Structure 1
Amino acid sequence: MIPEIEKASAEAIQQLQEQRLRELINYITQNSAYYKRIFREHNLQASDIKTLADLAKLPTTSKEDLQQFNDDFLCVDRRKIIDYVTTSGTLGEPVTFALTDNDLNRLAYNEAISFDCAGVTANDILQLTTTIDRRFMAGLAYFLGARELGAGIIRVGAGIPELQWDSILKFKPTYLIVVPSFLLKLIEYAHQHGIDPNKAGIKGAICIGESLRNEDFSLNTLAAKIKKDWNIPLYSTYASTEMSTAFTECSAMQGGHHHPELIIIEILDDEEKQVEEGMPGELTITTLGVEGMPLLRFKTGDIVQAHTSKCSCGRNTPRLGPVIGRKKQMIKYKGTTLYPPAMYNVLNYFNEIDAFVIEIDHNDIGTDEICIKIATSNPTNDLLQTIKDHFRAKLRVLPKIEFHDFKTLQELRFPKMSRKPVIVIDHRL
């Protein structure tokens, strides 16, 4: 089911994207109050933007723009809106996105070809272990994508290992859609109840919300722990509500594939210029084919690296490596630049850690400080020293580390209205 455009030459892909870009520019300059204003303020006409290179003439769109002018991005009469979703609000106030019937069809197509990247076919059954309610786009996208593909889907929802295993044993799904760390809970439950995960008939897990790989695509600590007890393929995905598009790994597991018919990507440096090939930068996207609230040069805040070498699966599109970190969460700590995912990797090494929260703040002299709060059933000095030694060995710096009770950390990790655990609390923002 690989779309022909994704197997086409770079020239053909560029030609299609530029045609779709011109259609987008004409659409938003007629229908988006926000982008009408942007074009007017920068003395630009729709005819000025014809090629991908012309995008550099336009300013970028930020999360703050979306928060401040949310309604101005809407391009349709409200009677055409079928579904409302909101962003998770990880780095600020949640933003509302309105989807039309065409947008839902696009979302279904996106997820169907993304599932296909991971080897899912119409003969498979997927078990959805994430929420489909609470204005969450991803759960809806998974359901629509499975339906578009013709695959079966079991909507179990989040949590409850007992119910998950009951569904696995009863309905025999072949793939799980799951947050990777939850697989550890499923493994723990299986071991406690005499279930062999490797005999459950699961062919793979499509993983969301947490990274599985290091920058060289080797398994990170979390993924290695999962594979040790449940030896199934783990497919990384990367997506966001704002871009209504997913980047999903194929069997080569060398990054998530770009769907050029759905989205234009730029990777920009701090001066908003395209980075040199192979260098990391901030992913900036332009949505194609979105009717309700299309975005032009939207800065995601995520630092990524694109890979353009030929992939064994036959797709000729770039691939995005694992997210290195959120630009706003970059930490300058004792002369070292850190992103939270590097600390996740260290902490996930320890089976004794039941939960953790990373707090970031400025100290009295204006430099960054890190405090890692850990919950464990065995809060000994020996464990604390071992964790500290591991930080020194892996990251060459040692943040402040404290033991806290599990209930306190759960209250920090799951604030009211949150759809997912809050692992980083950044007081600098």
Structure 2
Amino acid sequence: MIPKIETASAQEIQAFQESELAKTLKYVSQHSAYYKRLFADKNIDVSSIKTIDDLRQIPVTTKAELQAFNDDFLCVPTTEIIDYATTSGTLGDPVTFGLTDKDLDRLAYNEAISFDCAGIKHGDIVQLMTTIDRRFMAGLAYFLGLRKMKVGVIRVGAGIPELQWDSIRKYKPTYLITVPSFLLKLIEYAEAHGIDYKNSGIKGAVCIGEALREQDFSDSTLSRKIAEKWDIKLYSTYASTEMATAFTECEFHVGGHHHPELIVVETVDDENNPVADGEPGELVITNLGVEGMPLIRFKTGDIVQLHREPCRCGRNTLRVGPVLGRKQQMIKYKGTTLYPPAMTNVLNDFENIDLHVIEISTNDLGTDEILIKLAVKHESEQFLREIKDHFRAKLRVTPRIEFTTKEALSPIVFNPMSRKPITFFDFRK
């Protein structure tokens, strides 16, 4: 079910996007109080923006503006809103998004073509291991997409390995949608309770929230750990509430496929200028076809690299590589630039580590300081030296590391008010 536009030539895709972009710009200039004001202040005539490159005439929209003027971005009366979703608030106050009936249809279409990328077909049964409540857009999107595909869904929600295995044995799902590190907990539970997980009928898992691939698309440590135990196919998917669109891997695992009918993407540097091909930059998105709260040139905060060569799956769309890190989470440490995912990858190499928390603060010299708290199975000075040596080898620097207990870290990492595990805390001034 590859949409026709995704197999078109690069020139056809660009022409199509520019036609859709003109409609979106006209729509927001008429219906969005925020963009009406911005275009008037900057003396921007949207009818003069004909190409993707012309988009640069419009200033970027940041999370700070979304937080400060949330209601001004809404393009429809509240009587048209069917669903209220909020961002997770990882980097500040959550932002509310109102979705119309048409937006929910768009969301379903997005997930249907994304899951199709990952090989899910009519006849499959999918176990949903993420929350569908708490104003979480993704859980609802997954359900709507699978429903559109006429695929069976088991809505178990997050956590509780016992309940997950009870559902797997009872309903025989073929795919799971989950945070990948939870697959290790499922395996651990199965091994402890004599469950023959290798013959459970699970063919694959669509994974959210954690990196399955390195920048060269080789498997991450987490991915390898799962594969060593359980021979199922793992597919990475990347999205955000603001994008209302997913980038999901196909069977060739070379980045998340772009859906040009749904979103325009750019990558920019610190001055909001486009980065050169093959260079990482901050992902900037413009929604297409969103009715309730479309965004123009929204800076996602995610540092990614775009890949433009056609894929062997037949799609000619660009692909988004694994997220290097969040722009606001960039750390300058002893002359080295680091992002939390790189440190998490190093820690994932050790079976002895149960839980970790990375804390960033500002020291007396006004520079970044890193403290990593670890809950481990067996504490020793030798193990501490091994971790530090591994950091030095992989990242050229060694952060401060201290041991603590699983009991101390569990309530912090698995905060009941959060939709996902929290392992990074930024206390910088």
Which range, TM-score by smaller chain? over 0.9
Shift of 1:379: 2.1
Task: For residue 260 of structure 1, give the secondary structure of its aligned residue in structure 2.
Answer: coil
Percent of aligned pairs with the same amino acid: 66
Distance in 2 between residues matched to 1:44 and 1:6, nearest whole Å: 31
Which residue of structure 1 lines up, in the alignment, with residue 15 of structure 2?
15
Matching of residue 162 in structure 1 with residue 125 in structure 2? no
Matching of residue 74 in structure 1 with residue 68 in structure 2? no
Task: For residue 301 of structure 2, give the secondary structure of its aligned residue in structure 1.
Answer: strand
Matching of residue 268 in structure 1 with residue 287 in structure 2? no
Distance in 2 between residues matched to 1:214 and 1:200, nearest whole Å: 29
Which residue of structure 2 lines up, in the alignment, with residue 52 of structure 1?
52
Shift of 1:413: 2.1
Task: For residue 144 of structure 1, give the secondary structure of its aligned residue in structure 2.
Answer: helix
Shift of 1:384: 1.5
Letter in 1 for 2:209: G
Matching of residue 146 in structure 1 with residue 151 in structure 2? no
Distance in 1 between residues matched to 2:102 and 2:155, nearest whole Å: 24
Distance in 2 between residues matched to 1:371 and 1:236, nearest whole Å: 29
Q: How does 1:337-356 map to 2 (within 5 A)?
A: 337-356=337-356
Distance in 1 between residues matched to 2:397 and 2:288, nearest whole Å: 43
Distance in 1 between residues matched to 2:60 and 2:198, nearest whole Å: 47
Distance in 2 between residues matched to 1:119 and 1:414, nearest whole Å: 31
Deviates more, 1:171-180 or 1:197-206: 197-206
CA deviation map 1:224-266 (0-9, x unaligned): 0000001111100100000100000000000000000000000
Distance in 2 between residues matched to 1:245 and 1:180, nearest whole Å: 20
Q: How does 1:94-243 map to 2 (within 5 A)?
A: 94-243=94-243
Letter in 1 for 2:132: I
Task: For residue 252 of structure 1, give the secondary structure of its aligned residue in structure 2.
Answer: coil
Gaps of 5+ in 2: none
Letter in 2 for 1:362: T
Distance in 2 between residues matched to 1:283 and 1:396, nearest whole Å: 27
Which residue of structure 1 lines up, in the alignment, with residue 85 of structure 2?
85
Which residue of structure 2 lines up, in the alignment, with residue 397 of structure 1?
397
Shift of 1:416: 5.9
Letter in 1 for 2:249: E
Distance in 2 between residues matched to 1:109 and 1:418, nearest whole Å: 27
Which residue of structure 2 lines up, in the alignment, with residue 35 of structure 1?
35
CA deviation map 1:345-396 (0-9, x unaligned): 0111111111111001111111111000111232222222221121112111
Which residue of structure 1 lines up, in the alignment, with residue 284 of structure 2?
284
| TM-score, length of structure 1 as denominator length | 0.98
Letter in 2 for 1:57: Q
Distance in 2 between residues matched to 1:281 and 1:99, nearest whole Å: 29
Shift of 1:323: 0.1
Letter in 1 for 2:129: T
Which residue of structure 2 lines up, in the alignment, with residue 304 of structure 1?
304
Shift of 1:305: 0.3
Letter in 2 for 1:312: R
Q: How does 1:349-368 map to 2 (within 5 A)?
A: 349-368=349-368
Distance in 2 between residues matched to 1:348 and 1:338, nearest whole Å: 16
Task: For residue 235 of structure 1, give the secondary structure of its aligned residue in structure 2.
Answer: strand
Deviates more, 1:3-12 or 1:416-425: 416-425
Shift of 1:191: 0.8
Distance in 2 between residues matched to 1:148 and 1:416, nearest whole Å: 31
Shift of 1:415: 4.2
Distance in 2 between residues matched to 1:264 and 1:20, nearest whole Å: 10
Letter in 2 for 1:297: R
Distance in 2 between residues matched to 1:265 and 1:85, nearest whole Å: 22
Task: For residue 82 of structure 2, give the secondary structure of its aligned residue in structure 1.
Answer: strand
CA deviation map 1:119-150 (0-9, x unaligned): 11011110001110011111000000000111
Shift of 1:423: 1.0
Shift of 1:86: 0.5
Letter in 1 for 2:127: Q
Shift of 1:196: 2.7
Distance in 1 between residues matched to 2:402 and 2:41, nearest whole Å: 51
Shift of 1:417: 2.8
Distance in 2 between residues matched to 1:338 and 1:294, nearest whole Å: 32
Deviates more, 1:403-412 or 1:17-26: 403-412
Deviates more, 1:382-391 or 1:407-416: 407-416
CA RMSD of aligned residues (A): 1.0
Q: How does 1:373-412 map to 2 (within 5 A)?
A: 373-412=373-412
| TM-score, length of structure 2 as denominator length | 0.98
Gaps of 5+ in 1: none
Distance in 2 between residues matched to 1:418 and 1:172, nearest whole Å: 29
Distance in 2 between residues matched to 1:17 and 1:223, nearest whole Å: 34
Distance in 1 between residues matched to 2:28 and 2:414, nearest whole Å: 38
Distance in 2 between residues matched to 1:266 and 1:310, nearest whole Å: 18
Task: For residue 102 of structure 2, give the secondary structure of its aligned residue in structure 1.
Answer: helix
Letter in 2 for 1:127: Q
Letter in 1 for 2:419: R
Shift of 1:192: 1.0
After superposing on structure 2, the runs of 4+ consecutive aligned residues of structure 1 that deviate more than 6 Å are none
Distance in 1 between residues matched to 2:136 and 2:195, nearest whole Å: 32
Task: For residue 170 of structure 1, give the secondary structure of its aligned residue in structure 2.
Answer: helix
